[in-house]
Structure 1
Amino acid sequence: MPETAAAFTIDLKPADPLLEATGRFDFTKDWTGGMTGTSTGLMLSAGDPSTGRAGYVALETFQGEIDGRAGTAVLQQFGTMTDETTLYYEFVPGSGTGELQGIKGKLKLDGHDVEVSYQL
């Protein structure tokens, strides 16, 4: 599976909650490196991050290039904070367009630095 390194900056804005006892955030990301472009998304969260116990889900639509291949793809995230933090971050199957059609793979975060493993 090919790999590429990328990084992003994020503009995260609180929005009106969609469900009781949850938080909602709208965001945009600017991507650089092997994944260049922008993405827009929505994050829902619950729990108490100040105590280290919370969770979130997010969907974002990326538009740009991955290693020079242009198109769009949707990314999904699922994260939990407990004694053991877990994070799943991957391309949504069937969401790729253009030269990213058929993309599948995972993203690994280290802060805002990302290792992207993908297959077309």
Structure 2
Amino acid sequence: MSDNSTTAAFTIELQPGEALLDATGRFDFSKVWTGGMAGTSTGCMLSAGDPAAGKAGYVALELFQGSLDGLNGSVVLQQFGTMNGESTLYYEFAPGSGTAELAGISGSLEIDTSGGGHDVRIRYQLI
């Protein structure tokens, strides 16, 4: 098992969905990934709080289909984010969700939005 790292970027389209719980929001989304992680993903985000005031939290799951450093397959990404003055985001490959050449993948993703886009550093291992 070796540690691997690559970079990618994505564009995202968000569409509001019907809230599943009172006092929450829901968004369905699709992404196009380019770079070391290339393909498409679709997912669902649930949020709560007051994003306009900078105080909110969200969770999301998305199914990525494509390639990672030339390895083909699919994998589910899970996200956990909070805003409370500062933003934090945990973004990982869901354990046990990799298929084909991505079976056994684990790792995390870091997103940088400082340049106005979604630039991503991916660190992963394949068992």
Shorter-chain TM range is over 0.9
- Say which SS state the counterpart of residue 50 (structure 1) adopts: helix
Which residue in the other structure is 1:100 paired with? Answer: 102
Deviations 1:64-120 (A, max 9, x none): 000000000000000000133211000000000000000000000002000000001
Tell me the matched-pair count.
Answer: 120
| TM-score with structure 2 setting the length | 0.93
Which residue in the other structure is 1:66 paired with? Answer: 68
Report the Cα distance in structure 2 between the residues aligned to 1:37 and 1:87, rounded to whole angstroms: 22
Aligned-residue sequence identity (percent) comes to 68
Any stretches of 5+ residues in structure 1 without a counterpart? none
| TM-score with structure 1 setting the length | 0.98
CA-based RMSD: 0.6
For 1:45-84, list aligned pairs within 5 A.
Answer: 45-84=47-86
Any stretches of 5+ residues in structure 2 without a counterpart? none
Which residue in the other structure is 1:18 paired with? Answer: 20
Report the Cα distance in structure 2 between the residues aligned to 1:87 and 1:106, rounded to whole angstroms: 11
- Say which SS state the counterpart of residue 2 (structure 1) adopts: strand
